[in-house]
Amino acid sequence: MNAPAKDALVLFMPSGRRGRFPLGTTVLDAGRSLGVYIESVCGGRGICGRCQIQVTEGEFAKHQITSAASHLSPFTETESLYVSKRGELEGRRLSCTATILGDLVVDVPQDVQINRQIVRKRAETRTIERDPATQLCYVEVEEPDMEKPLGDTDRLLRALAEQWRLQSPLIDLHLLPKVQKILREGEWKVTAAVHHEHGRPVVVALWPGLHNFACGIAVDIGSTTIACHLSSLLSGRTLASAGAPNPQIRFGEDLMSRVSYVMMNPDGRQAMTTAVRNAIAVLIGKVCGEAEISPDEILECVFVGNPIMHHLFLGIDPTELGGAPFALAVSEALHFKGSELGLPVNEGARVYTLPCIAGHVGADAAGATLAEGPHRGDEITLLVDVGTNAEIVLGNRDRLVAASSPTGPAFEGAEISSGQRAAPGAIERVRIDPETLEPRLKIIGSDHWSDEPEFLEAAESLGVTGICGSAIIEVMGELFLAGVIDEDGVIDGSLAAKSDRIVQTGRTWAYVLWRSGQPGSNREIRILQTDVRAIQLAKAALYAGVRLLMDKLGIDHVDRIKLAGAFGNYIDPKYALIIGLVPDCPLDKVAGVGNAAGTGARMALLNKGYRAEIESLVRRIEKIETAMEPRFQEHFVSAMAFPNKVESFPNLAASVPLPARKSAGDGADGSPRRRGRARRGLE
């Protein structure tokens, strides 16, 4: 016979943390003492219902724990009262009142799932343990007493210190005029929003009674689009999302033209700061409207963006980022009040911006790195955010390097004769028959290929207006696979004999991707030699940057490639490999990862641990300035070819029949002859 146990083994899932606790300990206390994050607004009074957990019956041999629901105390009076007021717990228990009677496996429900399916259309989801920088703390405050004339605010702060173990809490000035009224309205029971920053807890908002709701926003300020997500800080659920074009576009399409605008116009910086802040204010109104909450419920705001967006949002002149040495005004993460930026959120709401990695590798790249976590694994991961500037992070848990490459706007459809933004009518998919050289294509707004009868109707109503970014990559890849362009990117004029798709334009040749079927219309969408050259320049710049980072790490292949951003999300990884945008890699290890920057922002919103993680990570990322590296130019020239002349592509070759190289054996040399050819191509 065993003597009755005096303590019990408790395992918390999904974190896997475990420990022994005296019988009678509440599950909440046990979890917290192990550092398991269990939300609780009321501080264990059984009224907020946030600390729910679940205990499953059965044996857990794997965990060496025989768990049974009977190892948890029976349903308590507090729980009955809670159920009578707030509704069923549906098999869950309130961990602040349920106590440990024997070995247990406790499931902490993770309502927080940053569901990537929505953004990326792939199955991976991730569970984020919550630990937001702002927490709600319900307290009972002593009433004033003439014998002890401590101020009402001081008694509130003392109650917080005692009941929530907060060290010397402070309070925002804007609350001082409201404290007395709120305390009396709540009959000396109030809920404080406490923000933790720089080591000192600060009361940033206050409500009478129990206030069981708190929100935050995560915003990705892209140069083209601004995306805003509203999340509950308590459940972690995303309540609403909205996006809008960045209104700075009217000052300049790409980043550098916006910097020029600031340099040329005395009020340019102010105008762009106002524009982006107003757009964000509108988005905040939109997500709040959609979720039917007051903007006053927003207590935390996290922002990411490339360095120029980051600076303009903060009211900083980005001129220094326009030229060497590309000095950031500030690179570290920043904390301030929403009111300092005029954001229409709770007056005490706090703002956090992720750190910038380098002059052209911004807080958005930091967010993407945080979300994709190359630093968490052993695989050498290449993370690329493709835009006007490509932001590149490469490495694994041991070492990370980062750089930006001046790809220019070709990938976004600019500098391409028929290029356009993604919009209905834009060509988004292309296939070219290697025998007949006839194309098949799809346009945005129709699900049908152009050889299906339904396509014509869509084409007539939408028009076939141009080629969007992702299709440009595809058409180049298909032209290369079909032999229309050779490895040096030259359109083969001799094929004009075989197909009327090959036409002469001045001294070079072009490929006719689309001809209007309308009688009397001679509208055509052509791929010109200059278009091929523009893509060659852009992809060579990106590849050279990646290659430089690989040189730094002394590696000749990568284990995994993640393409972030809208562009990275829509391009077919196969074509990225075929045109040599990225180094060779097994096709199933290359994937678009959607708005990883935004995901990183949401992580920093929901858990302050991620803030510490990205801040210390950014400090240790080694930054490479491509413009400073002599080898960049060398890699760049060699990477002009399709796929390129820097490396062979065994993984790619295994899945796609690549055309034979013109001169096998000298693929990787970048010999003067080839360089000369490549350069001529630029003229």
Which residues in this chain contact its own copies in the complex, by CB under 8 A?
A: 144-154, 170-171, 173-174, 176-177, 179-181, 198-200, 314-317, 320, 324-332, 334, 336, 340, 356-359, 623, 625, 627-628
Nearer to its own copies, 172 or 412 (CB): 172
Least distance (Å) between residue 42 CB and its own copies: 25
Least distance (Å) between residue 495 CB and its own copies: 45
Contact status, residue 361 vs residue 404, Cβ threshold 8 Å: yes
Least distance (Å) between residue 145 CB and its own copies: 6
Which are the contacts of 678, defined by CB distance < 8 A and separation ≥ 6?
488, 489, 536, 637, 640, 641
Least distance (Å) between residue 173 CB and its own copies: 4
Nearer to its own copies, 95 or 153 (CB): 153
Calculate the CA dihedral of residues 252, 257, 261, 262 and round it to 10 degrees: 120
Handedness of CA 193, 194, 197, 198 (dihedral sign): positive
Least distance (Å) between residue 146 CB and its own copies: 4
Tokens representing 125?
């989801």
Least distance (Å) between residue 344 CB and its own copies: 18
Contact status, residue 420 vs residue 465, Cβ threshold 8 Å: yes
CA within 13 Å, CB half, 460: 8
Nearer to its own copies, 197 or 379 (CB): 197
DSSP 482: T
Nearer to its own copies, 209 or 315 (CB): 315
Handedness of CA 355, 361, 364, 367 (dihedral sign): negative
Q: What are the strands of the beta sheet with 426-432, ordered from one edge?
A: 439-443, 426-432, 466-467
DSSP 323: S
Least distance (Å) between residue 629 CB and its own copies: 10
Least distance (Å) between residue 201 CB and its own copies: 11
Which are the contacts of 525, defined by CB distance < 8 A and separation ≥ 6?
418, 427, 464, 466, 467, 512, 513, 514
Least distance (Å) between residue 171 CB and its own copies: 8
Nearer to its own copies, 141 or 382 (CB): 141
Nearer to its own copies, 149 or 657 (CB): 149
Count helices and strands (H / E) in the chain: 19, 31
Round to whole Å and give the CA distance between 532 and 473: 10
Nearer to its own copies, 325 or 377 (CB): 325
Nearer to its own copies, 9 or 402 (CB): 402
- Looking at the DSSP bridge assignments, the partners of residue 273 are none
The distance in angstroms from the start CA to the end CA of the chain is 91
**Residue of 467, 469, 433, 465 lying closest to 451 (CA atoms):** 433
Nearer to its own copies, 166 or 437 (CB): 166
